Structure 1
Amino acid sequence: MFLRRLALFFSATLLMFGAASARADAQAPDALIKQVSTDVLESLKADKSVKAGDLQKIIALVDAKVMPHVNFQRMTSSAVGRYWRQATPEQQKRLQDEFKVLLVRTYSGALAQVKDQTVQLKPMRGSAADPEVVVKTEVRGQGDPIQLDYRLEKVGDGWKIYDVNVMGVWLVENYRNSFAQEIGANGIDGLIGKLAERNKAARG
């Protein structure tokens, strides 16, 4: 139940990071999050297909608007942990591809839940000149506010998300534990097969 709530709230809020303009990318990370989240929330509320639960439309939206703002290689390698260095380049590519599909579908399944939420930023510690920052936000809507912390790294003039904390649990760390168990039992190819099987079942 907790992991389901974790996926729901993470996905619902990460989806607020829609495609930003070059001007927005040059902003401070907290200002970028605020501006983009507001813009995307408005577009979600106005999209009848999304509200109706059109999964293919939602998947396309997630892939186009969320993934460009995620350092997916870093997220995948961090989730796989020490085993990443043991994987061949082909295995690394397959892990990244399957992990991306898993998360995109997770986000897509929760996107229809986005209705009247708003995002409030908390004061950011550190400076936008730092190579990595944590941006803390609070999602307010029906029910109790949800605390969310985002880890971002500076890439060129922009920022990329590489981890998120929901209710005290970092997403990458959560996957790292389950991935390590699968690799320990069945090897890297076993994890790839498990992810592929899960994604295939979701498509069915």
Structure 2
Amino acid sequence: MWVRSLILSLILLFGFWAHAEEIHANPYRLMSYVAEQTFSRLAKIDRQADDAQQQLEAIVRQQLMPHIDYRYAAFAVLGKHIKKTSKQQRDDFAEAFQEYLVSTYTQALAQYKQQQVLIEPERALGEQTKLGVRAQLIDADRPPINLEFKFRKLKNSSANSADRWLAYDLIAEGVSLLSTKQSEMDSLIRADGIDGVIQLLRDKNLATQE
């Protein structure tokens, strides 16, 4: 009996891995999957509950962050300043920026009120290594919000595994989160230095958690 159970478990696990690889190999399917998982969990949250904020943050960490290339985004935000940083500073900035993204997306999801999300139809990927997937947030009480998620393809070193796509930027109504933060951080780094900006991000992250 235990042998049959083990075999069944392995089959189910293999099926899960195959499904996960298929999703990550296509940014359109990945976006649809993440949206479905995220908004289905959001719909179950009681916004009046004492731990509603913690539930929202958990959704961001579990459903969104695994599919976001936060290190690539962090280094893009550093821009030309990255040449003057040490490996430790880059790692510290990436970690602080990751937590900043968690706070940003948690605040954004707090505004969700059962709006409909429409994602553009899947297109052929060809040889592209970067592309944008457009979506609309439909609200009956106001004009739709146009969104575009930027993805990049990460080559897999294993011949037996497919390449993976991760998101690195969100463009809302034509405004890039990455470009906005790059401009903001450029001024802050000039004024306070990279260590000062890392501490600033850490302080902001702590403030949002209190």
**Shared topology, TM-score over 0.5?**
yes
1:147 corresponds to 2:153:
no
Corresponding residue for residue 53 of structure 2: 55
Over 3 Å counting, the alpha-carbon distance change for 1:154 and 1:93 in structure 2 is same
Corresponding residue for residue 192 of structure 1: 198
Across the two proteins, how many residue pairs are aligned to each other? 183
> AA paired with 1:202?
T
Corresponding residue for residue 171 of structure 1: 177
Partner secondary structure for residue 147 of structure 2: strand
Deviation at 1:78, TM superposition (A): 0.6
Partner secondary structure for residue 148 of structure 2: strand
| % identical equivalent positions | 27
Q: Summarize deviations over 1:42-80 as a string: whole Å, max 9, x none.
A: 2221233x6636222222221121111011111000111
Deviation at 1:166, TM superposition (A): 0.9
Corresponding residue for residue 20 of structure 2: 21
Larger Rg: 2
Given that residues 45 and 51 in structure 1 are in contact (C-alpha distance below 8 angstroms), is that contact kept between their aligned partners in structure 2? no
Partner secondary structure for residue 143 of structure 2: coil
CA distance in 1, matches of 2:37, 2:103: 22
Over 3 Å counting, the alpha-carbon distance change for 1:128 and 1:42 in structure 2 is farther
Q: TM-score, normalised by structure 2?
A: 0.78
Given that residues 34 and 63 in structure 2 are in contact (C-alpha distance below 8 angstroms), is that contact kept between their aligned partners in structure 1? no
Q: TM-score, normalised by structure 1?
A: 0.80
Deviation at 1:182, TM superposition (A): 0.8
1:160 corresponds to 2:166:
yes
Instruction: Give runs of aligned pairs for residues 38-117 of structure 1, distance below 5 A.
Output: 38-48=36-46, 52=49, 54-117=52-115
Q: Considering only aligned residues, what root-mean-square deviation do their CA atoms show, in Å? A: 2.2
CA distance in 1, matches of 2:85, 2:96: 15
Which ranges of structure 1 fall in alignment gaps of 5 or more residues?
1-19
CA distance in 2, matches of 1:158, 1:92: 23
Given that residues 124 and 136 in structure 1 are in contact (C-alpha distance below 8 angstroms), is that contact kept between their aligned partners in structure 2? no
Corresponding residue for residue 116 of structure 2: 118
Deviation above 4 Å: which 4+ runs of structure 1?
Answer: 123-126
Deviation at 1:140, TM superposition (A): 0.8
Which ranges of structure 2 fall in alignment gaps of 5 or more residues?
1-18, 157-162
Partner secondary structure for residue 192 of structure 2: helix
Given that residues 84 and 92 in structure 1 are in contact (C-alpha distance below 8 angstroms), is that contact kept between their aligned partners in structure 2? yes
Given that residues 100 and 205 in structure 2 are in contact (C-alpha distance below 8 angstroms), is that contact kept between their aligned partners in structure 1? yes
> AA paired with 1:161?
A
